[in-house]
Chain A
Amino acid sequence: GAVVSQHPSRVICKSGTSVKIECRSLDFQATTMFWYRQFPKQSLMLMATSNEGSKATYEQGVEKDKFLINHASLTLSTLTVTSAHPEDSSFYICSASGQGRSYNEQFFGPGTRLTVL
Chain B
Amino acid sequence: DQQVKQNSPSLSVQEGRISILNCDYTNSMFDYFLWYKKYPAEGPTFLISISSIKDKNEDGRFTVFLNKSAKHLSLHIVPSQPGDSAVYFCAARGGATNKLIFGTGTLLAVQP
Contacts and interface: CB of A to CB of B under 8 A. Distances in A.
Q: Which 9 A-B pairs have the closest CB atoms?
A: A108-B43, A44-B102, A43-B104, A43-B102, A108-B44, A110-B43, A109-B43, A111-B43, A93-B43
The residue in B36, B51, B102 that gathers the most chain A C-beta atoms within 10 A of its C-beta is: B102
B32 interface: yes
Interface stretch (B61-69, B75-83, B93-101): B93-101
The bracket for how many chain B residues form the interface is: 20 to 34
Interface of B: 32, 34, 36, 41-46, 49, 51, 89, 93, 97-105
The bracket for how many chain A residues form the interface is: 20 to 34
Contacts, number: 56
Interface string A86-117: 00000101010100000111111111010000
A113 B41 contact: yes
Identify whether the interface residues of A are mostly helix, strand, loop, or mixed: strand
Contacts of B46: 1, 105-108
Nearest to B36: A108
Contact of A104 (B36, B49, B103, B105): B49
Contacts of A4: 43
Contact of B100 (A1, A106, A109): A106
Contacts of A109: 43
Given A49-B97, A103-B98, A104-B93, A1 B103 contact: no
Interface string A1-22: 1001010000000000000000
A105 B45 contact: no
A91 B41 contact: yes
A110 B97 CA distance: 24
Contacts of A68: none
